[in-house]
Amino acid sequence: MMNRSKQKPADADLPPPPPDSSDYISPAPRVSVQMFCVAEATAVTSRAAAEDRRLAKAHLSVHMGGIAAAIEAYHKAPTPNVIVLETEGHSDILAGLDELASVCDPGTRVIVIGTAADITPYRELVRRGVNDYVIGPVEVLDVVRSICSLFSASEAVTVGRMIAVVGAKGGVGASTVAHNIAWHIARDVALDSVVIDLDLAFGTASLDYNQDPVQGIANAVFSPDRLDSSFMERLLAKCTDNLSLLAAPAALDQVYDFGADAFDSIFDTLRMTTPCIVLDVPHQWTAWTRRALVGADDILIVAEPDLANMRNAKNMMNMLKSARPNDRPPLYCINQVGMHKRPEIELRAFAKTVESQPIATVPFDSKTFGTAANNGQMIAEISANHRAAKMFQQMARRLTGRSEPKKDSFLSPIIKKLRRAS
């Protein structure tokens, strides 16, 4: 159970302060959530939280009246999966919770939004079945985090992290970047990962990983009624111990026109079993590509240092920031920097236009990248010390929220010997 407050409490019974707002928040599953607010400001914030992508599958309704309104409502109606209650500070919250318990269905989870004036010990709230406690006034992310953490903290439910990689323009090497990052996530971050090649007509993931799977994502998207964990497992091609591939057919025997939600069931099914999913998103603007990007936990845009890429990257960044106001902004990297005889926009000017710095600038090296592509290998397999390989490793750690491991200093062996001697 995740316990939080918005400030460090003096009372040891109160929960610890919240993590930083940039911390990863797993999306909530399909659940019903009913909030009973006291303050109008809390109601406004809660309605804004209902629009957050991580609560897209949850049905969140907002009511006024606090705990008294909740008790009255559940005398006549069944309780939802989650109840969120705002206290009034001077009211007897424990008595209210006891009365609520008499009309509450088993298994319902409860979140309490309190005030700094509350004097109820946190341990007493826990004894009455409260799953989380937040000190108001709350912000949008407080509401989102509290609801989502009820399920991500459960050992029975695993919600995988989804990373989308897309090119600002065709031919910028976004697929190569995506495949190398996924490989490093599996090897260096040691997360079980799946790469999904969403370019069904021209995907290259199977070539880059030297795989020739008979089945792949086409079997899943055209068989929505069969989707479950076992079916998805049979479609995956094993690339390494920790890395699997849901390959594209790369065939032109049919047209791949999809609705906006065509891939939702695939993503949902894999999220339940896979800690990390990397989407190789093709450079096309359709309802489903936009939905995949907006629904991802983290986004990496790959661009080259020219005018069209700069314009497209800025447009994509602006759109995604607007569609995901409670997420950290999309990240971007600049690929194929230093191509011979090609005029390039200076990185400083590119970053000024896009209004953020790239997380990496990958150098152009036609020989190394060409050899890797033709051999079905990653850059680190061709040259472990290559500058690009180190950048892919750094981006893998950045996108998964894993910091670089600390390096031992030259005094470490001496310190270890002294500790053993003592």
Secondary structure in 3-state letters for the chain: CCCCCCCCCCCCCCCCCCCCCCCCCCCCCCCEEEEEECCHHHHHHHHHHHCCHHHCCCEEEEEECHHHHHHHHHCCCCCCCEEEEECCCCCCHHHHHHHHHCCCCCCCEEEEEECCCCCCCHHHHHHCCEEEEEECCCCHHHHHHHHHHHHHCCCCCCCCEEEEEEECCCCCCHHHHHHHHHHHHHHCCCCCEEEEECCCCCCCHHHHCCCCCCCCHHHHHCCHHHCCHHHHHHHCEECCCCEEEECCCCCCCCCCCCCCCCCHHHHHHHHCCCCEEEEEECCCCCHHHHHHHHHCCEEEEEECCCHHHHHHHHHHHHHHHHHCCCCCCCEEEEEEECCCCCCCCCHHHHHHHHCCCCCCEEECCHHHHHHHHHHCCCHHHHCCCCHHHHHHHHHHHHHHCCCCCCCCCCCHHHHHHHHHHC
Asked which of 83-97, 203-217, 229-243 is least confident by mean pLDDT, the reply is 83-97
Distance CA 271, CA 185 (A): 16
Phi, psi of 112 (to 5 degrees): -115, 130
Dihedral angle over CA of 388, 389, 392, 397, nearest 10:
-140
pLDDT of residue 18: 38
pLDDT band, residue 17 (cuts 50/70/90): very low
pLDDT band, residue 157 (cuts 50/70/90): very low
Distance CA 353, CA 366 (A): 28
Q: 146 with 361: CB under 8 angstroms?
A: no
pLDDT of residue 98: 87
User: Residue 15: pLDDT above 50?
Assistant: no
Distances (CA, A) of 153 to 149, 306, 365, 373, 403: 6, 44, 44, 40, 22
Please give the angle made by the CA atoms of 83, 85 and 91, to the nearest 5 degrees: 145
pLDDT of residue 404: 63
pLDDT of residue 403: 65
Residues 9-20 have a mean pLDDT of 40
User: Residue 253: pLDDT above 50?
Assistant: yes
Q: What is this structure's pTM?
A: 0.80
pLDDT of residue 105: 82
Residues 287-306 have a mean pLDDT of 96
User: Residue 412: pLDDT above 80?
Assistant: no
User: What's the distance, CA 279 to chain centroid?
Assistant: 12
Residues 7-36 have a mean pLDDT of 63
> Mean pLDDT over all residues of the chain?
87
pLDDT of residue 97: 87
Asked which of 20-24, 72-76, 90-94, 251-255 is least confident by mean pLDDT, the reply is 20-24
Q: 298 with 185: CB under 8 angstroms?
A: no
Distance CA 122, CA 12 (A): 9
pLDDT of residue 8: 38
Q: 304 with 283: CB under 8 angstroms?
A: no
pLDDT of residue 76: 85
| Range with top average pLDDT, 137-141, 310-314, 339-343 | 310-314
Share of the chain above pLDDT 70, in %: 86
Distances (CA, A) of 335 to 156, 176, 339, 343: 40, 10, 10, 14
Which amino acid is it at 48? A
Instruction: Write the pLDDT tens digit of every residue in 66-125.
Output: 999 999 999 888 889 999 999 886 667 888 888 888 888 888 999 999 887 666 677 778
CA-wise closest residue to 301 among 334, 278, 255, 279? 334
Which amino acid is it at 234? R
Share of the chain above pLDDT 90, in %: 67
